[in-house]
């Protein structure tokens, strides 16, 4: 059976388009919060297949999305490489920062990667057997630049001044860090496909803070290498890139990385995406996640506009970023009805 989500990534135009939502498994669902309370911490949650499988399946039961995405976190890679990673309640991720070659040398090691990530691979294997026949399974990872921002800054940031400064002032160290992330991320994604993932998405959530030249160096080049490595082993697995905030550089990103699909944030002009990007790759997006919180007429008008403009070519309906915790589940239900023409 050909899955609609995968058909769209092969360049087919489908009406209605397939849909899934970033962070579709998350805190906006009461059943997710109930399962989350059973884990001692967030990494334990990600590394416990029973829990990770269950929360991946929860939104499928409610909304019958066309794709499920592995429940995990982009920071399992630095954790598997040996960096200390903690998720602190109310503060988010906290890492022991790596800011120079000596710290990298003393901390990071590729040799234990697959063993450390074995529980994630087991989650992928089980999901590939448990999701509905019509649903595609997406594996994922963070892009090297975005993961590096956390590894160098030691936490999330508003302006990424530390990591941008390090990338400028010590490019040799930063290149070594990116190279290690290209290798580890490629290994991780290849193994996810071995275990049953049918598509991969790479999240470059903080690509939009880079200057043009730095975007080419730290976002496009590493992603091109990852795509090349994964496709060398799994030539038919589609890969979606999501360089959030890339603006006009989305076009170069598609051309240089050779991704099959491109995730667009909500700031991208729809007609430009249709005319410039859609001939190059399947586009995915682009509803503002806060419109999903608001719901009502404004959301309905924007959904209709997105469908009208992007629905005439290869398209996957999604948000411009992940579902936020304050989203009412009934708004997601209404969104599904609108996209599917059932409203």
Residues catalogued as catalytic:
23, 27, 36, 73, 150
CB atoms within 10 A of CB 107: 16
Residue 157 near residue 197, CB atoms below 8 Å:
no
Element (H, E) at 75: none
What's the farthest any 2 CA atoms get from each other in the chain?
59
Nearest to 261 by CA among 196, 191, 316: 316
User: Which residues sit opposite 139 in a β-bridge?
Assistant: 200
H-assigned helices in 195-315:
212-215, 221-233, 250-257, 270-272, 289-294, 296-310
Separate counts of helices (H) and strands (E) for the chain: 18, 9
First to last CA, the chain: 27
Nearest to 137 by CA among 8, 3, 293: 3
């Amino acid at each position: 059976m050909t899955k609609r989500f995968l058909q769209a990534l092969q360049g087919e135009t489908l009406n209605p388009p397939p849909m899934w939502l970033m962070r579709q498994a998350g805190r906006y669902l009461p059943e997710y919060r109930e399962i989350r309370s059973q884990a001692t911490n967030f990494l334990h949650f990600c590394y416990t297949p029973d829990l990770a499988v269950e929360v991946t399946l929860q939104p499928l039961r409610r909304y019958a999305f066309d794709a499920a995405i592995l429940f995990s976190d982009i920071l399992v890679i630095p954790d598997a490489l040996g960096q200390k990673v903690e998720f602190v309640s109310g503060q988010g991720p906290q890492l022991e920062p790596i800011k120079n070659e000596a710290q990298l040398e003393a901390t990071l090691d590729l040799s234990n990667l697959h063993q450390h990530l074995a529980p994630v691979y087991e989650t992928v294997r089980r999901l590939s057997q448990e999701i509905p026949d019509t649903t595609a399974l997406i594996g994922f990872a963070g892009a090297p630049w975005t993961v590096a921002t956390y590894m160098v800054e030691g936490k999330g940031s508003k302006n990424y001044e530390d990591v941008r400064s390090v990338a400028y002032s010590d490019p040799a160290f930063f290149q070594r860090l990116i190279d290690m992330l290209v290798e580890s991320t490629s290994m991780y994604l290849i193994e996810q496909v071995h275990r049953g993932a049918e598509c991969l998405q790479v999240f470059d959530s903080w690509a939009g803070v880079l200057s043009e030249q730095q975007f080419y160096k730290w976002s496009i080049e590493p992603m091109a290498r990852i795509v090349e490595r994964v496709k060398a082993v799994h030539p038919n697995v589609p890969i979606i890139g999501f360089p959030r905030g890339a603006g006009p550089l989305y076009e170069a990103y598609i051309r240089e990385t050779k991704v099959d699909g491109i995730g667009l944030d909500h700031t991208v002009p729809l007609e430009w995406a249709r005319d410039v990007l859609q001939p190059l790759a399947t586009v995915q997006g682009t509803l503002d996640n806060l419109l999903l919180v608001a719901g009502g007429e404004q959301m309905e008008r924007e959904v209709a506009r997105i469908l009208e403009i992007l629905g005439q070519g290869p398209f996957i309906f999604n948000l411009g970023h992940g579902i936020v915790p304050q989203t009412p589940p009934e708004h997601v239900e209404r969104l599904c009805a609108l996209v599917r023409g059932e409203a």
